[in-house]
Structure 1
Amino acid sequence: MRPEEKIRRRAHKLFRDGGEEVVKVSRIKRYVYDFAVFAGLALCAAALLLYPQESIGAAKNGLTLCFNVIIPSLFPFFVLSSMIVNLGFARYFGRALEPVMRPLFNVGGACSTAFVLGFIGGYPVGARTVIALYKNGTCSKTEAERMLSFCNNSGPAFIFGVVGAGVFASSSVGLLLYLAHTVASVCVGLLFRNWGAGQEATGGTRRSIAAAAQPFAPAFTDAVKSSFLSMLNICAFVLFFTVLISLLTLTGLIPALSAAFGRLFAPLGFDREWIERLLTGIIELSSGVASLRGATASLYRSMATAAFMLGWAGLSIHAQVLSFIADSGLSVKTYFFGKLLHGLLSAVFASILARIFVFRLPAGVYLAEQVRAMASLSFGAALQISCLSAGLILIFFIITARRAKVRREAHKMQGGKKRSLKK
């Protein structure tokens, strides 16, 4: 047998054996994954049987949260974002803000709709608006993935009201947290401005045909229907994670993990109590920031922890966003990397701002009254405030779109006059 034939057969045997090993490893990974999922489901079922009353109480708290806070605060903004996209206002608004969005974030001006609504409406309005813009054909796939990294943010009502006034009893803390949250989001957008530049150069990410603007009646009907389905989706995830947090605490899993990580990070100054709060915030944002109330840690550390939770957003909100991304064909890499980076940068900026702007705690009687007033808001009052805010934003978008249209028509008329004079 020739040496070349021996080498070829040996290489073939090695390749075959290596392929079989790869198949075995993949099967083992699949078995481990299936076992882990089954074990997790079995443990959840056992916990529900062991703590039925606590699970029912957690579910009731989740329903109260959905009915009194989430539905009245998010539903109007969902309808608003859908109306802006369906009526074609995003394109007019985009032409006005193209000189700002393109140099900063390397996205079209129409993406500014998601950027603005994401900061005002809160989670997950920004991500839902981006996906609506992409499905409508207003932005490319690359632009949508860039926007997902930084446009899904916490709203000012949650940061000022719940975190600032409710948790820290200080409007100054709320202001600094909102500044850190905003600056960190913009920095993430700047860092991801070149994401997918190679794909964009090939032209394969652009939507072929943009959907035409709808008349008002069908646009309004579609907006209400899609927003209602989105609210059901979000409320389902809120209920699930509210019960999950309760079960993880009752079964001692979160305290056990906190104790283990506390011993591991003790040399760095992180105790078990801080780790437990951080783990809670990583899973669910509202529960995490609420656990910071009355924390024994320093104000700087508590602010940095709250800023990280606000930037990271929690697995509950991530599940809501993933339910929107699932059928869009968009990659989730930029979203998860962006949220992790957003949380880290927010914590850094909050620590810096807290040391620059020194303030005293606790706040006066006015803030205590403010907290009680916000806590006593009824469903109707919260819905009125949210609808009023959404209406004002819609008026702003309409005025801006009409001004952009008038400018474009005037520019066309001037160009026509110049061409006629040249002739």
Structure 2
Amino acid sequence: MLKKTAGAAAVLLAAALLLFPRQAADGASAGISTCLGVLVPSLFPFLFLTVFLIKSGLSSAIGACIGKPFAKLFALPPAAAPAILMGMLGGYPTGSRGAQALYESGELTAEQAERLLLFSVNGGPAFICTAVGLGFLGSVQTGRFLLAVHLLSGLVVGVLLGLPHHRDKTPPRRTAAWPSLGSSLVTAAHDAASSMLLMCCFVILFSTFLCILQQFLSGKALAVFAGVCEVTLGCRSLANVLAPLWCVSLVLGWGGLCVHLQVLQGLAFRVRTGRFFLCRAAQGGIAALATLLLGERFSVKPALPPVVDVFGSLAQSRPALSGSIAAGVALIILCAAMLLDSSGQQNSVV
């Protein structure tokens, strides 16, 4: 049944590409610009550094120095400390790459790697402070506040996940010797480049179909749908319709289906998709609640920029086709199919 539904969704999306070729091209171009201007400069160095620290064994040395507080808070081995820090500073997919590298190196069990991934899906300072705060909301102070709330909510989720495991005495899995620094350097560059390419592909794909969807939806409806699907366009759309700040905080914590696909693809350990989505919703909810409670106290009021279309090149008149969201529903169905399929592949690996 799922395959038939996904097939029908693929046909609808193919039809959308044929009916709106100019919009599809503009969306793909906007996605490529986002990748080259935002994702690659801000994420690739962190992806490389995270994998290199773990593959070279340096994370174990760092964890021995600073890992005890992390072990007590999250019930994870000290070697996970660098991956947790990189997951907080590097951007959404960095934490998952760290969890994957720690599992492959034998530093974490499959269960520990899954828990690390569940609370390490965080936006980085470059994205939240610069792109969202200054670029979309017109206020660096608001961006800093959103970053603090976002990271705090992720830490709360991590602490809650670790509560049942503080008495676990799981021995470390690692038995093999660490590779040389040169080999670790090459491996880190290869892994980071592969992950970066996959991320960019998803961003371009979502940007393409969200641009087509703009022909059918506008205003708040488009902002809500964009927030569910893609975090960058979601935050920008919410800023354009002057949505409350807690809505932006909710989208940042949720992360968007595009980020979810980036995070869950290519993992060697099992991640239960239901638990993953529950943690994403919990982090978004905690962040939104904290924004509601603390935003007024800290007098956080974004200086919103002039309202513009999400895709500036499409600021022309739209056809009178309001009401149909078939292409958008098809995109969500395909995402669900890919996530469930990746979960099944992970079950076969573990």
TM-score category of the 2 structures, normalised to the smaller one: 0.7 to 0.9
Paired residues for 1:359-370 under 5 Å: 359=300, 362=303
1:312 positional shift:
0.6
1:123 positional shift:
1.4
Unaligned 5+ segments in structure 2 are 307-350
Return the alpha-carbon distance in structure 1 between the equivalents of residues 42 and 220 of structure 2: 30
1:59 positional shift:
0.9
Return the alpha-carbon distance in structure 1 between the equivalents of residues 24 and 176 of structure 2: 45
1:376-417 superposed Cα distances (whole Å, 9 cap, x missing partner): xxxxxxxxxxxxxxxxxxxxxxxxxxxxxxxxxxxxxxxxxx
1:279 positional shift:
2.0
The question of whether the paired residues in 2 share the 8 Å contact of 1:95 and 1:110 is answered with: yes
Whether 1:89 and 2:58 are equivalent positions in the alignment is: yes
The question of whether the paired residues in 2 share the 8 Å contact of 1:123 and 1:317 is answered with: yes
In structure 2, what is the equivalent of residue 321 of structure 1?
A: 263
1:196 positional shift:
6.5
**RMSD across aligned C-alpha pairs, in angstroms?**
2.3
1:105 positional shift:
0.9
SS at match of 1:193: helix
1:95-125 superposed Cα distances (whole Å, 9 cap, x missing partner): 2233201221111111111111011111111
1:186 positional shift:
1.1
1:180-233 superposed Cα distances (whole Å, 9 cap, x missing partner): 1111111101111135789x57x5xx6643442221111111111121111111
In structure 2, what is the equivalent of residue 304 of structure 1?
A: 246
Unaligned 5+ segments in structure 1 are 1-29, 256-272, 369-423
In structure 1, what is the equivalent of residue 290 of structure 2?
A: 349
SS at match of 1:192: helix
The question of whether the paired residues in 2 share the 8 Å contact of 1:149 and 1:337 is answered with: no
Return the alpha-carbon distance in structure 2 between the equivalents of residues 88 and 155 of structure 1: 24
The question of whether the paired residues in 1 share the 8 Å contact of 2:92 and 2:120 is answered with: no
Return the alpha-carbon distance in structure 2 between the equivalents of residues 229 and 317 of structure 1: 16
In structure 2, what is the equivalent of residue 136 of structure 1?
A: 105
1:232-272 superposed Cα distances (whole Å, 9 cap, x missing partner): 1111111111112122332x2x56xxxxxxxxxxxxxxxxx
The question of whether the paired residues in 1 share the 8 Å contact of 2:92 and 2:121 is answered with: yes
Rg larger in 1 or in 2?
A: 1
Return the alpha-carbon distance in structure 1 between the equivalents of residues 100 and 213 of structure 2: 33
Letter aligned with residue 260 of structure 2: H
Q: 1:46 to 1:71 in 2, by over 3 A?
A: same
Q: TM-score, normalised by structure 2?
A: 0.81
The question of whether the paired residues in 2 share the 8 Å contact of 1:123 and 1:152 is answered with: yes
The question of whether the paired residues in 2 share the 8 Å contact of 1:307 and 1:350 is answered with: yes
Identity percentage of aligned residues: 29
In structure 2, what is the equivalent of residue 112 of structure 1?
A: 81
Q: 1:359 to 1:67 in 2, by over 3 A?
A: closer
Return the alpha-carbon distance in structure 1 between the equivalents of residues 173 and 242 of structure 2: 56
Q: TM-score, normalised by structure 1?
A: 0.68
SS at match of 1:227: helix
Count of residues paired in the alignment: 306
The question of whether the paired residues in 1 share the 8 Å contact of 2:51 and 2:97 is answered with: no
More helix, by proportion? 1
Return the alpha-carbon distance in structure 1 between the equivalents of residues 91 and 55 of structure 2: 21
Letter aligned with residue 295 of structure 1: V
The question of whether the paired residues in 1 share the 8 Å contact of 2:214 and 2:222 is answered with: no
SS at match of 1:355: coil
Whether 1:284 and 2:230 are equivalent positions in the alignment is: yes
In structure 2, what is the equivalent of residue 239 of structure 1?
A: 204
The question of whether the paired residues in 2 share the 8 Å contact of 1:148 and 1:334 is answered with: no
SS at match of 1:57: helix
Deviating runs (4+, > 4 A) in structure 1?
Answer: 195-198
The question of whether the paired residues in 2 share the 8 Å contact of 1:135 and 1:328 is answered with: no
1:11-62 superposed Cα distances (whole Å, 9 cap, x missing partner): xxxxxxxxxxxxxxxxxxx3xx233212111111111110011111111111
SS at match of 2:162: coil
1:359 positional shift:
4.7
Letter aligned with residue 57 of structure 1: D
Whether 1:222 and 2:187 are equivalent positions in the alignment is: yes
In structure 1, what is the equivalent of residue 44 of structure 2?
A: 75
Return the alpha-carbon distance in structure 2 between the equivalents of residues 275 and 247 of structure 1: 14
Whether 1:248 and 2:213 are equivalent positions in the alignment is: yes
1:358 positional shift:
1.7
Letter aligned with residue 123 of structure 2: S
In structure 1, what is the equivalent of residue 346 of structure 2?
A: none
